[in-house]
Amino acid sequence: MQISIDFDKCCGAGQCVLAAPDVFDQRDEDGIVVLLDDNPPADQAENVAQAAAVCPAAVIQVKQ
Amino acid sequence: MTGAAVTGAPPSRIAVVGASAAGLCVVEALRRQGYGGPLTLIGEETHLPYDRPPLSKQVLSGAWDTGRLRLRGADDIEALGLRLRLGSPAIALDTQDREVALADGSLVGYDALVVATGTRARRLPGTDGVRGVHVLRTLEDAVALREDLAGKPHLVVVGGGFVGAEAAAVARGLGCEVTLVTDTAQPMGDALGDELGAMLRAVHAEHGVRIETGTLVDRVLTAGGRATGVRLADDRTIDAEAVLVGIGALPNTEWLTGSGVPVGNGVTCDVTLYAGSGVWAAGDVASWPHPLTGERIRVEHRTNAAEQGLAVARNVLAGPEQARPFETVPYVWSDQYDLRIQIWGRTRGADEVRIVEGSPAERKLIALYGKDGRVCAAVGVNMMRALRDYRSQVAEAAPFTARSAA
Ligand SMILES: Cc1cc2nc3c(=O)[nH]c(=O)nc-3n(C[C@H](O)[C@H](O)[C@H](O)COP(=O)(O)OP(=O)(O)OC[C@H]3O[C@@H](n4cnc5c(N)ncnc54)[C@H](O)[C@@H]3O)c2cc1C
Ligand code: SF4
């Protein structure tokens, strides 16, 4: 799985971190998403799909 | 017995009405969860699903062109294999024969139906067709307001909610003269309470917004079909070339009249977002009882639309018998000038507020809101990452103690 992010559109909601804490974090200063792992193991697929679905700015793209 | 009535058997035809944040989330989640049957997405707007929060922010300011609002690319939508019916609203529902009637005269049959028709902006009576009077709900609304603001008019914003306060900030940035009129004691006062409301008011005043609080706008004044100002309830008038009406939103449920689907303040669902007879609802239009308090709530937040979309997709496939209650900690944000305000939970009805980090003077803080001795909300201003640590206190309704620090 390959994750890409449109960082410019991220609004720092942190929903992605709640859904997949092993894959996403947020910067301290402005809350913008930090991608901890752009090619996470298959057991993260469900969490990552959830993160992409709830991200209110629709900035998380997942390619299998 | 029909297929849909057999416990555990997924419905064989699904229709989703409303092609925005919630509707899109439903159809995507259905496909992700393996539903391969006929799936119709019906939308009044002609656009592919797009995002609304940037309308009062990046789109109004001109930082983004409207193409950036697209929630998914055309090929992603294509890959979902939908029967897309954009530009033709649903006008009636027959829950007996399980058919939706569209404005173009066609009928769409279903076994399970999801209502995701959202809300529309409330208007002031007598302003239809008056030039210079705006609401802000759709892409077209944002473009029209942006065009008007380019002429640097004096803008009166009616209403001190999120949308009005954000638009006032953007309009100042564009060099417009701005007056904000709200019937509350502070802009966003009913969402944030006195102390944070006062801080926000000060921020708007520093940026040159004139603020009239505690007063209603009686009507928009016009000459030759164009707005010339507003008259306040106390008889004063304010001259203006443009008026933005931001006085809340109304659920789009009229098309359900006579269908038997229970409608009050939105579609009246149970804890699983089910409204009976094969009908579910998600997003701004859905009202449901809070699983803890039983209080009926309807939430107009972007992430709620996505979360309910996911929950409804799962429940539609499981069927009403196996459906799970929808649980959430509501989340909303607002951008004004260089402030980002974030709210977890529900501040309304709070009887205690305590600032636990930062201060209004720093324009950087976290405040906890308490109700009946329990934490009901956490509000952050420019403390994006730190605020997340307080979410669990809201989720658990933790005791509101003297030092409810994370
Ligand atoms: C200017 C603005 C700024 C906002 N900013 C924020 C923010 O900063 N943070 C935040 O959390 N939230 C914000 N929101 C709220 C957020 O946009 C909504 O919660 C979200 O759009 C709800 O999604 P929805 O799909 O439930 O409804 P909607 O987005 O309202 O979509 C409903 C769709 O259904 C269509 N429809 C209606 N009737 C019919 C019919 N009869 N047949 C077919 N289709 C129909 C409508 O045309 C519309 O496309 C903002 C909203 C606005 C307007
Ligand atoms: S959920 Fe989306 S918008 Fe929020 S921090 Fe994560 S990537 Fe950014």
User: Are the C-beta atoms of B26 and A43 separated by less than 8 Å?
Assistant: no
Q: Express each pLDDT in B320-371 by its tens digit.
A: 999 999 999 999 999 999 999 999 999 988 999 999 999 999 999 999 999 9
CA nearest A27 in B: which residue?
Answer: B385
The fold adopted by the segment(s) B4-120+250-318 is: FAD/NAD(P)-binding domain (3.50.50)
* % of chain B at pLDDT higher than 90: 88
Of the pLDDT bands very low, low, confident and very high (cuts 50, 70, 90), residue B186 is confident
Could you tell me which residues are beta bridge partners of residue B126?
none
* Contact yes or no for B303 and A26 at CB 8 A: no
Which run of H or of E encompasses B353? strand B352-359
- Whether A23 lines ligand 2, by a CB cut-off of 6 Å, is no
CATH number reported for the structural domain that contains residue A32 in this entry? 3.30.70.20
Contact across the interface for A18 and B342, Cβ inside 8 Å: no
Compare all CA atoms of chain B with the CA of A26 and give the residue at the minimum distance. B385
Average pLDDT over residues B24-35: 96
Q: How confident is the model at residue B1 (pLDDT cuts 50, 70, 90)?
A: very low
Q: With a 6 A CB cut-off, is B18 part of the ligand 1 pocket?
A: yes
Q: Which atom of ligand 1 is nearest to the CA of B255?
A: 41
**Dihedral through CA A10, CA A15, CA A17, CA A18, nearest 10?**
180
pLDDT the model gives residue B105: 97
Residue B405 is predicted with a pLDDT of 53
Fold of B123-247: FAD/NAD(P)-binding domain (3.50.50)
Interchain contact, A53 vs B29, CB within 8 Å: yes
Q: Give dist(CA B6, CA B151) in Å, integer.
A: 61
- For chain B, give every domain's residue range: 4-120+250-318, 123-247, 338-395
Give, in order, the Cα–Cα distances in Å from B368 to each of A10, B68, B119, B172, B387: 25, 35, 29, 30, 10
Contacts of B51 in chain A (CB under 8 A): 57-58
Strand order in the sheet with B242-245: B133-134, B242-245, B154-158, B177-181, B210-212
pLDDT of residue B402: 62
Token code pair at residue B206: 């520093």
**Is the per-residue pLDDT at B5 higher than 60?**
no
Question: Are the C-beta atoms of B18 and B117 separated by less than 8 Å?
Answer: yes
Average pLDDT of every residue of chain B: 93
- Alpha-carbon span B265 to B313, nearest angstrom: 23
Please determine, for residue B106, whether its predicted confidence score (pLDDT) is greater than 60: yes
Is there a contact between B244 and B180 (Cβ–Cβ < 8 Å)?
A: no
Cα separation of B88 and B393, whole Å? 44
Number of alpha helices (DSSP H) and beta strands (DSSP E) in chain B: 9, 28
A41-52 pLDDT, tens per residue? 999 999 999 999
When pLDDT is averaged across residues B103-128 and rounded to a whole number, the result is 96
Q: Does B29 touch chain A (CB under 8 A)?
A: yes
The reply to whether residue A27 touches residue B302, judged by beta carbons under 8 angstroms, is no
Count the residues in chain B: 406
What are B131-143's pLDDT values in tens digits? Answer: 999 999 999 999 9
Q: Does B71 contact chain A (CB < 8 Å)?
A: yes
Under the banding of pLDDT at 50, 70 and 90, the label for residue B294 is: confident
Q: Which mutation among B58, B71, B302 tests ligand 1's pocket best, with the greatest number of atoms within 8 A of CB?
A: B302
Q: Assign 3-class secondary structure to A20-49.
A: CCCCEEECCCCCCEEECCCCCCHHHHHHHH
Q: Name the interface residues of A facing B (CB cutoff 8 Å).
A: 9, 11-15, 17-18, 26-28, 30-31, 49-50, 53-58
CB burial string B31-48: b at 16+ within 10 A, e below: bbeebeebbbbbbbbebb
Distance B16 CA to ligand 1 centre (A): 15
B150-154, B156-160, B292-296: which has the minimum mean pLDDT? B292-296
- Cβ of A53 within 8 Å of Cβ of B25? The answer is yes
Q: Which atom of ligand 2 is nearest to the CA of A15?
A: 1
Distance of CA B117 to CAs B99, B153, B285, Å? 16, 34, 6
The helix (run of H) or strand (run of E) holding residue B352 is: strand B352-359
ipTM of the complex: 0.90
To test the contact with chain A by mutation, choose from B48, B299, B388, B392 the residue with the greatest count of A C-beta atoms within 10 A, namely: B388
Cα(B37)–Cα(B17) distance, rounded to whole angstroms? Answer: 17
Give the closest-approach CA distance of A34 to chain B in angstroms.
11
- Read off the tokens for B103: 């404005």
Q: β-pairing, B39-43 with B14-17? A: parallel
Separation between Cα atoms, residue B78 and residue B84, nearest integer Å: 9
E strands present in B224-273: 226-232, 237-239, 242-245, 249-251, 263-264, 266-268
CA atoms within 13 A on the CB side of B132: 22
Average pLDDT over residues B233-261: 96
A/B interface, count of CB pairs below 8 Å: 55
Whether B303 sits inside 8 A of A54 (CB atoms) is: yes
pLDDT band per the 50, 70, 90 thresholds, residue B8: low
Number of structural domains in chain A: 1
Out of B68, B309, B388, the one facing A14 most closely (by C-beta) is B388
From the CB of B165, is ligand 1 less than 6 Å away? no
The reply to whether residue B340 touches residue A12, judged by beta carbons under 8 angstroms, is yes
* Per-residue confidence band for B6, with pLDDT thresholds at 50, 70 and 90: very low
Do residues B187 and B213 lie in contact, with contact meaning Cβ atoms separated by under 8 Å?
A: yes
**Inter-chain residue contact B384 with A18, CB threshold 8 Å:** no
- Closest of A37, A4, A13 to residue B73, by C-alpha: A4
Q: What's B338-395's CATH class?
A: alpha beta
* pTM for the whole structure: 0.95
Q: Say yes or no: CB of residue A12 within 6 Å of ligand 2.
A: yes
Please give the backbone phi and psi of residue B211, each rounded to the nearest 5 degrees, phi first. Answer: -125, 125
CA of B116 to the centre of ligand 1 (A): 9
CA proximity to B213, closest of B157, B257, B265:
B157
Strands (E), B88-216: 90-94, 99-102, 107-109, 112-115, 119-121, 133-134, 154-158, 177-181, 210-212
What is the domain extent for residue A21? 2-63
Contacts A13 to B, Cβ<8 Å: 303, 331, 333, 342
Return the closest-CA partner of residue B281 out of B120, B118, B115, B119. B115
